[in-house]
Amino acid sequence: MKSIDIGLVDRALIIKLRNIGDVLLTAPVFTALKAARPGVRLTALVPAGMEDMLTLNPDVDEVITVKRGSGMMYDLKLLKRLRASRFDLAINMTEGDRGALLAFFCGARFRIGFDPGGRGFLGKRLLFTSLAPVVCDGRHRAELDMDVLKPLGIEGADTVVKLYTSEEDDAFVRGLLSRGGIGPGDRYAVVHPTSRWLFKCWRDEAMAAVIDYLEGRGIRVVVTAAPEEEELARVKNMLSTVRSKPLDLSGRLSLKRLAALMKKSVLFFGVDTAPMHMAAAVGVPVVALFGPSDSTIWGPHSKSAMVVDKRDEFNCVPCNRDGCDGSKKSKCMEAITVDEAVRALEAVMAAKVALFGADSGPGLALDY
């Protein structure tokens, strides 16, 4: 691994061409670079639609978006813009070929990427001046991502992930809550029951039971989901069976506004999704249900979080497959009981009360 003198870096480009949660988990990389090289200008290059995960972050000076599936002419215009920035360093944080090519052709003198290990096109490793090792040793994804900084001599940096919102986002959410009957002093939880990958979803009737449990404990529930047809259909079916009256904001919030909603909540309850990472990043206690994914790598990166899964009962967990036998349904996920979820919620809420006191944050239910 060839080392790079960070003192020679004034402008750096960090490329992460992945999805919402993946982009958010790169935030500690920017923080570590700023701490090691104060004054360095950091630019993020992420897919269009993912920029909310890094905008307003004080350690990120600029966010450039790139369209997925764009043609050669688009990429040439993008490269012209990147080259005009005169980056000293380009870091590609994904294994894809497109990021490697953009890092090479942007004109940066120093280029870091994870060792492709024979993956991708022939000679791909030669596009980089330094390669970071790919080590899958059970660490969280946010910690594994930090390995890309080793050629710069940066190791052991903090991996706390933070997400930022604007006052406009916060005010918009306050208005939505007020119109939904939730005032400034009311306790509420955010429940995000769906994922674009349906094999990560829990049973609708079980999720409805947890919503009723929280509402019955004096904690209002705000239900959220992406504006995708399948997810909204799941929410509609779920809410048709609840006995309580949660506030349904599914499909109505941008990513920033979803973060603003979470920021003032008592807790987040949901499945393995990007919003789970967002909740952890704004400092909210999290209870997350996991099925086939590896929660040690992809779980909520927070000390105020608890994962509920069935790895002790299913020796196939984590299998990282899209359901059992091609069914798009995960038996390990569906086997989680309502009682297990409720116990986790009680434990997380009790832990926050013990740490901060009964009057901490927006308030917690103490009568369960």
At residue 122, the pLDDT reads 76
Q: Which of 16-30, 34-48, 63-77, 92-106 has the lowest mean pLDDT?
A: 63-77
Q: Are residues 135 and 225 in the same domain?
A: no
What is the reported pLDDT for 2?
85
Asked, for residue 10, whether it belongs to a domain, the answer is yes
Q: How confident is the model at residue 136 (pLDDT cuts 50, 70, 90)?
A: confident
Shared domain check, 36 and 88: yes
pTM for this one? Answer: 0.92
For 167, the enclosing helix (H) or strand (E) is helix 167-179
Rounded to whole angstroms, the Cα distance separating 273 from 108 reads 34
Task: Give the angle 18-24-27 at the CA atoms, nearest 5°.
Answer: 115
Task: Flag whether pLDDT at 119 surpasses 80.
Answer: no
Whether 233 is covered by a domain: the verdict is yes
198 and 124 part of one domain: no
CA distances for 106 relative to 12, 36, 305, 309, 331, angstroms: 11, 23, 40, 43, 46
Kindly report the average pLDDT of the chain as a whole number. 92
- pLDDT of residue 362 exceeding 60, the answer is no
pLDDT band at 121 (very low <50, low <70, confident <90, very high): confident
Give the angle subtended at the CA of 103 by the CAs of 155 and 110, to the nearest 5°. 55
User: What's residue 352's pLDDT?
Assistant: 66
Report how far apart, in Å, the C-alpha atoms of 364 and of each of 188, 210, 321, 348 are.
Answer: 9, 16, 37, 11
Residue 177: the pLDDT is 98
Q: What is the pLDDT of residue 215?
A: 96
User: Residue 361 pLDDT > 50, yes or no?
Assistant: no
Rounded to 5°, angle at Cα 309 from 259 and 306: 45
13 forms beta bridges with 43, 90
Residue 259, pLDDT score = 98
Interval 31-54: pLDDT, tens:
999 999 999 999 999 999 999 999
Choose the final residue of a domain: 124, 152, 180.
152
Q: What is the CATH number of the domain that holds 24?
A: 3.40.50.2000
Q: What percent of the chain has pLDDT over 90?
A: 82
Over 60: is that where the pLDDT of 359 sits? no
Give the mean pLDDT of 280-292.
97
Q: Distance between terminal CA atoms of the chain?
A: 54
Number of domains in the chain: 2
- Assess whether 70 and 192 both reside in one domain: no
pLDDT for 351 beyond 60:
yes
Average pLDDT over residues 286-294: 96
What number is the average pLDDT over the span 156-163? 95
Residue 296 has pLDDT above 70, yes or no: yes
Q: How far is CA 59 from CA 42, 44, 113, 160, in A?
A: 7, 10, 21, 13
Q: Are residues 180 and 315 in the same domain?
A: yes
Residue 161 inside a domain? The answer is no
Tell me: the pLDDT tens digits for 68-94?
A: 877 788 888 999 999 999 999 999 999
pLDDT of residue 356: 46
Domain span holding position 241: 167-356
User: Taking residues 49-70, what's their average pLDDT?
Assistant: 95
**361 within some domain:** no
pLDDT the model gives residue 170 = 97
Assess whether 132 and 244 both reside in one domain: no
